[in-house]
A = this chain, B = another copy of it.
């Protein structure tokens, strides 16, 4: 293994005992660890099972030891100790615990090397695809336990498979970092989320901390720990905290903004001095809000659309270049922007019959615009967008813009003051910032200000595996965040109404948007 020392793994030599230095094995080890960690005042605890093996390990020929230890609530806990020459390099798992999809990433804890990745559908989908159904199910007799069992058993199966693929053994896994929304982490830990969805919306805990993997029957190393990213509340989960960590927003000099459009739209604004956050499940105005745009990104789904103003044709791009059978959020935003910029819809999002020509068809008494003809589509049917779809998209984009306007307004800065605009998740990966600006969903910043983060929840969890100072950093992030309850008051509704036009009632906010 590498002799590099990083993160949680320390390599050190324990002095042999002598009549002059005849303190206990554990004391010599702890003394050496405290020296190495340069934290003389922090205590180091040793798991009993490890203590039982300690004298044998210390008396092997090689005096260099590979120690793995984690920080927890103001002390260190040693979870693994091996003679260096025969050490199995400790591994860690980052887990993005999504409502729909769970992604695992295996990392070598010593070298920080990425070993492998896998993903699987959250088996709780069988109980209910959405969080709410699962929370109700948890209240049924045995329901909570069943939900917990589903995810834990799936994790066990997937960990074995991933270890296999990476030529590692489950007992080499010493740390699992889990980032998920508050409901998903509650279900993982067997904590009843009943009160999360009822006023005043209370989770059982905001800081699950470091938990023995054995207490959840996760079959990795018996001493392994699970770090569950803390949450701010019921609607602001550990996935977001992981996202902030990953983006580096909390260390930015200039105000930066992070948007994660998942089950909710969550927004964090801040810099190295302050952090303010809000989540979009704030009221009726946002219901059926920013989340219901199109289908999930998958092969054959339209993710980019261009309207050729000369040929008057749609130039579409599908994921994996397969025949189109649907359109995802980013494709829909592209489409709407192109329709608006090409004059096919007006500033209210209404189809312009003359410009649309024979693309406009009637289906069951509703106007639809044909995007892909039956001959070009994978289904043999035309892919269309209806006026209702557009109206829904416009409400969504207005809600998003209003949230952004509200959160910046709260701290007294302008949207144009945002230096960096991080967009997390699949949405961030596929979205064309220019199009989102074109419909007035995102503010009119220079395109270089927008950064797609990808799976920032998984990225943050992976960062935790890399360094022993991340836990403190996470606590500091959590302590610094001010959570803004979105009051859907008259001010909010006024802003929302003004944002329900393309790009906005106040055109001066979008100088870069020029309509044909």
A137 → B minimal CB distance (Å): 17
Q: Does A204 contact B (CB under 8 A)?
A: yes
Which residues, 32 to 47 on A, are CB-close (under 8 Å) to B? 42-43, 45-46
Kindly report how many copies of this chain are found in the complex they form together: 2
Which residues, 200 to 236 on A, are CB-close (under 8 Å) to B? 200-209, 211, 215, 231, 233
Q: How far is the CA of A192 from the CA of B192 in the complex (A)?
A: 42
Q: Which residues of B contact A86 (CB under 8 A)?
A: none
Q: Which residues of B contact A73 (CB under 8 A)?
A: 43, 45, 75
A148 → B minimal CB distance (Å): 10
Q: Does A516 contact B (CB under 8 A)?
A: no
B55→A192 contact, CB < 8 A: yes
A184 → B minimal CB distance (Å): 15
Q: How far is the CA of A90 from the CA of B351 in the complex (A)?
A: 72
Q: Which residues of B contact A17 (CB under 8 A)?
A: 195, 200, 202
User: Which stretch in A18-26, A295-303, A318-326 binds the other chain?
Assistant: A18-26
B55→A195 contact, CB < 8 A: yes
Q: Does A356 contact B (CB under 8 A)?
A: no
Known contacts A48-B211, A211-B48, A233-B23; decide if A42 and B74 are in contact (CB<8 Å): yes
B74→A204 contact, CB < 8 A: no
Q: Does A194 contact B (CB under 8 A)?
A: yes
Q: Which residues of B contact A364 (CB under 8 A)?
A: none
| Contact for A54 among B22, B45, B200, B204, CB less than 8 A | B204
A interface size (C-beta, 8 A): 46
Q: How far is the CA of A308 from the CA of B8 in the complex (A)?
A: 75
Q: How far is the CA of A192 from the CA of B25 in the complex (A)?
A: 11
The residue of chain B having its C-beta at the shortest distance from the C-beta of A194 within the complex is: B55
Q: Does A27 contact B (CB under 8 A)?
A: yes
Map CB proximity to B onto A42-65 as digits: 1 under 8 Å, 0 otherwise.
Answer: 110110100110111000000000
| Contact for A206 among B23, B56, B190, B192, CB less than 8 A | B23
Q: How far is the CA of A423 from the CA of B203 in the complex (A)?
A: 56
Q: Does A191 contact B (CB under 8 A)?
A: yes
Q: Which residues of B contact A25 (CB under 8 A)?
A: 195, 202-205
Q: How far is the CA of A192 from the CA of B53 in the complex (A)?
A: 9
Q: How far is the CA of A18 from the CA of B198 in the complex (A)?
A: 11
Q: Does A199 contact B (CB under 8 A)?
A: yes
Which residues, 462 to 516 on A, are CB-close (under 8 Å) to B? 485
Q: How far is the CA of A72 from the CA of B17 in the complex (A)?
A: 27
Q: Does A189 contact B (CB under 8 A)?
A: yes
Q: Which residues of B contact A43 (CB under 8 A)?
A: 73-74
Q: How far is the CA of A268 from the CA of B46 in the complex (A)?
A: 29
Q: Which residues of B contact A211 (CB under 8 A)?
A: 48
| Contact for A202 among B22, B48, B74, CB less than 8 A | B22
| Contact for A45 among B42, B190, B204, B209, CB less than 8 A | B209
The residue of chain B having its C-beta at the shortest distance from the C-beta of A23 within the complex is: B206
The 9 A-B residue pairs with the shortest CB-CB distance in the complex, in nearest-first order: A26-B205, A43-B73, A24-B206, A22-B200, A19-B200, A24-B203, A17-B202, A73-B75, A24-B205
Other than the given A24-B233, A55-B202, 9 more pairs (CB < 8 A) read A17-B200, A18-B200, A25-B202, A26-B207, A45-B73, A45-B209, A51-B204, A51-B205, A52-B191
11 CB < 8 A contacts A-B: A17-B202, A21-B200, A23-B202, A24-B204, A27-B207, A45-B209, A48-B189, A51-B189, A55-B191, A55-B202, A74-B75
